[in-house]
Structure 1
Amino acid sequence: MADLKHRQKRRYANHVPSKGEEVRKRIKAIMRKQPTDDVSKRKSTHRTRVTNGKRILQGVDGRGLIARRYYDLYDIIMQDQGGADRMSEVRKQLVRRFAAASVLGEMMEARIANGDNVDIAQHALIASTLVRLSSKIGIDRRSKVVSTPALKDYLESKTQKGTGRVRVIDQDGEDA
Structure 2
Amino acid sequence: RTFQIPRPFTEMTLIENMLTAAQAQSGERLFANWLKPHRVAVEERANAERAMAHLEFLGLARLAREPARILSGGQRKLLELGRVLMADPRLILLDEPGAGVNPALLDTIIDRVAEINGRGITFLIIEHNMDLVARLCRHVFVLSAGRMLFEGTPSAVVKNPEVIDAYLGTGSA
TM-score, normalising length: structure 2: 0.26
Name which structure has the greater RCO, CA cutoff 8 Å, separation 6+.
Answer: 2
More strand as a share of residues: 2
Q: TM-score, normalised by structure 1?
A: 0.26
Bigger radius of gyration, 1 or 2?
1
